[in-house]
Amino acid sequence: MASEGLSEAEAARRLEEVGPNLPPRPGRVSLVRRVANQLRDPLIVVLIAAAVLTIVTADFADAAVILLVITVNTTVGVTQEVRADRAVEQLVALAAPAARVIRGGVEREVGIDTVVPGDLLVLAEGEIVAADARLVQAVAFAADESMLTGEAVPVDKSAVPAGEPGGEVSAGTVVVRGRGRAVVTATGAESAMGRVAALLAPVPGLTPLQKRLAGVARTLALAAAVLCLVVLVLGVVRGQPVELMVLTAVSLMVAAVPESLPAVVSLALALGARRMAARQAIVRRLPAVEALGSVTVIATDKTGTLTEGAMVVQKLWTVDGEADVTGLGYAPEGRVERDGMPLDPERAPDVAALLRACALCTDAALVPPRPPTPNGARGGGDAAIESWTAAGDPTEAALLAAAAKMGLTRTALEREWPRVGEVPFDNARKRMTTVHREASGRFEVICKGAPEVVLRAPITSDDAATLRRAERRADEFARQGYRVLAVAAGQRSSLPAAGGPSPGLLPEVEEGLRLLGLVAIADPPRASAAATIAACRQAGLTPVLITGDHRATARALAVQVGIGGDDPVVMDGSDLDPERVPDPRDCAVFARTNPEQKLGIVDAYGRRSQVVAMTGDGVNDAPALRRADIGVAMGRRGTEVAREAADLVLADDELATLVTAVEEGRRIYANVRRFLVYGLSGGAAEIMVMLVGPFLGLPLPLQPAQILWINLMTHGPPGVALGAEPAGADVMRSPPRPPAERILGAGLWQRIPRIAVVLAAVTLGVAVWAASTGRPWQSMAYLTLATTQLGVALGSRARPGTRDNPFLLVAVGASFVLMLAGLYVPLLRELLGTEPLALADLGLVCVVSFAGYLAVRLDRRLHSERSATASTARGTGRNEHA
| CA 715-720-724 angle, 5° bins | 145
Among 421, 310, 428, 410, CA closest to 362? 410
Q: Residue 123: what residue type?
A: L
Among 764, 798, 586, 551, CA closest to 673? 798
Helix (DSSP H) and strand (DSSP E) numbers for the chain: 30, 26
Q: CB of 397 within 8 A of CB of 358?
A: no
The rounded radius of gyration (Å) of the Cα atoms in the chain is 34
Residue 517 gets which letter from DSSP? E
Element (H, E) at 655: helix 655-692
- 595-623: b (≥16 Cβ within 10 Å) or e: bebbbbbbbbbeeeebbbbbbbbbbbbbb
Q: Which residues contact 621 (CB under 8 A, 6 or more apart)?
A: 301, 595, 598, 614, 633, 642, 645
Is the previous residue joined to 458 through a cis bond, with omega within 30 degrees of 0? yes
Q: CB of 244 within 8 A of CB of 704?
A: yes
Sheet holding 589-591, edge to edge: 281-283, 648-650, 630-634, 612-616, 297-300, 542-546, 589-591, 570-572
Element (H, E) at 318: strand 312-318
Q: How far apart are CA 369 and CA 374, in angstroms?
A: 16
SS3 203: coil
SS3 359: helix
User: Active-site residues: which are they?
Assistant: 301
Q: Residue 384: what residue type?
A: A
* β-pair partners for 475: none
Is the Cα dihedral 568, 569, 575, 578 positive or negative?
A: negative
φ, ψ of residue 752 to 5 degrees: the values are -60, -55
Q: How far apart are CA 742 and CA 119, in angstroms?
A: 52
Q: How far apart are CA 285 and CA 262, in angstroms?
A: 18
Q: CB of 444 within 8 A of CB of 501?
A: no
Q: How far apart are CA 371 and CA 389, in angstroms?
A: 14
| CA 37-90-676 angle, 5° bins | 50
Q: CB of 300 within 8 A of CB of 662?
A: no
According to the 3-state scheme, what is the secondary structure of 564-600? CCCCCCEEEHHHCECCECCCHHHCCEEECCCHHHHHH
DSSP 698-735: -SSSS-HHHHHHHHHHHHTHHHHHHTTPPPPTTGGGSP
